[in-house]
Amino acid sequence: MAIEVSDRAREWLHKQGGVATVRLSPRHGCCGGRADIAVAEARTPDAPKRYTRLEHDGVVLYIAPTLLDQDLTLDVEGFLGLRHLFVDGAPLSR
Amino acid sequence: MSTLQDSQSPSTSEGMGLFERFLSVWVALAIVIGVLLGQFAPAIPEALSRFEVAQVSIPVAILIWAMIFPMMAQIDFSAVLGVRRQPRGLIITTTVNWLIKPFTMFAIAWFFLTVVFQPLIPADLASQYLAGAILLGAAPCTAMVFVWSYLTRGDAAYTLVQVSLNDLIMLFAFAPIVVFLLDISNIQVPWDTVALSVVLYIVIPLTAGYLTRRTLIARHGSEWYDNVFMKRIGPVTPAGLILTLVLLFAFQGEVILEAPLHIVLIAVPLIVQTFLIFFIAYGWAKVWKVPHRVAAPGAMIGASNFFELAVAAAISLFGLQSGAALATVVGVLVEVPLMLALVRIANKTRHHFPEAEAPAEAKG
Classify A23 as helix, strand or coil: strand
Give the C-alpha distances (Å, rounded to integers) separating B142 from A37, A79, B43, B166, B290: 15, 25, 36, 7, 22
Name, in order, each residue with C-beta under 8 angstroms of B169's C-beta and a sequence gap of 6 or more.
B94, B97, B98
Across B3-17, B27-41, B55-69, the highest mean pLDDT is recorded for B27-41
Determine the average pLDDT of the residues in B139-168.
87
Instruction: Give residue B359's pLDDT.
Output: 47
Flag whether residue B168 sits within 8 Å of chain A, measured between CB atoms: no
Q: Which of B143, B154, B227 sits opposite A29 (nearest CB)?
A: B143
| Lowest mean pLDDT across A45-54, A58-67, B230-239, B253-262 | B253-262
Instruction: Give residue A3's pLDDT.
Output: 85
Determine the average pLDDT of the residues in B75-102.
88
**Which has the higher per-residue pLDDT, B107 or B244?**
B107
Give B20-58 pLDDT, tens digit per residue: 778 888 888 988 999 898 888 888 877 877 787 766 778
Judging contacts by C-beta atoms under 8 Å, the chain B residues touching residue A92 are 146, 149-150, 153-154, 156, 159
Chain centroid offset of residue B308 CA = 6
What is the least distance, in Å, from the CA of B274 to any CA of chain A?
A: 17
Determine the average pLDDT of the residues in B56-62.
81
What is the least distance, in Å, from the CA of A14 to any CA of chain B?
A: 20
The answer to whether the CB of B284 falls within 8 A of the CB of B93 is: no
Residues in chain A: 94
pLDDT over 50 (residue B346): yes
Band of the pLDDT at B59, cuts 50, 70, 90? confident
Give A41-84 pLDDT, tens digit per residue: 999 999 999 999 999 888 999 999 989 888 889 999 888 778 88
pLDDT over 50 (residue B236): yes
CATH of B4-355, one of 3.40.50.300, 2.40.30.10, 2.60.40.180, 1.20.1530.20: 1.20.1530.20
Count CB-CB contacts under 10 A for residue A62. Answer: 21
Across A61-75, A79-93, B98-112, the highest mean pLDDT is recorded for B98-112
* Segments making up each domain of chain A, as ranges: 2-88
What's the complex ipTM? Answer: 0.88
Band of the pLDDT at B131, cuts 50, 70, 90? very high
B2: exposed, middle or buried (Cβ count in 10 Å: 0-12, 13-18, 19+): exposed
Flag whether residue B238 sits within 8 Å of chain A, measured between CB atoms: yes
Judging contacts by C-beta atoms under 8 Å, the chain B residues touching residue A90 are 156
What is the least distance, in Å, from the CA of A58 to any CA of chain B?
A: 23
CB contact under 8 A, B10 and A94: yes
Element (H, E) at A20: strand A19-28
pLDDT over 50 (residue B139): yes
pLDDT over 50 (residue B1): no
- pTM to 2 decimal places: 0.86
Across B150-159, B201-210, B266-275, the highest mean pLDDT is recorded for B266-275
Instruction: Give residue B80's pLDDT.
Output: 80
pLDDT over 80 (residue B6): no
Classify A35 as helix, strand or coil: strand
Instruction: Give residue B28's pLDDT.
Output: 86
Share of chain B above pLDDT 70, in %: 93
What is the least distance, in Å, from the CA of A86 to any CA of chain B?
A: 9
pLDDT over 70 (residue B290): yes
CB contact under 8 A, B230 and A75: no
Give B173-210 pLDDT, tens digit per residue: 998 999 999 999 999 888 888 888 888 888 899 899 99
Judging contacts by C-beta atoms under 8 Å, the chain B residues touching residue A76 are none
What is the least distance, in Å, from the CA of B69 to any CA of chain A?
A: 10
Flag whether residue A25 sits within 8 Å of chain B, measured between CB atoms: yes
Flag whether residue B49 sits within 8 Å of chain A, measured between CB atoms: no
CB contact under 8 A, A27 and B336: no
Instruction: Give residue B327's pLDDT.
Output: 94
Instruction: Give residue B11's pLDDT.
Output: 67
Q: What is the mean pLDDT of chain A?
A: 88
The answer to whether the CB of A3 falls within 8 A of the CB of A74 is: yes
Q: Which of B74, B144, B153 sits opposite A91 (nearest CB)?
A: B153
Architecture of domain A2-88: Sandwich (2.60)
User: Cα torsion at B84, B87, B93, B94 (round to 10°)?
Assistant: 60
Share of chain B above pLDDT 90, in %: 44
* C-alpha to C-alpha distance for A20 and A61, rounded to whole angstroms: 5
The answer to whether the CB of B248 falls within 8 A of the CB of B34 is: yes
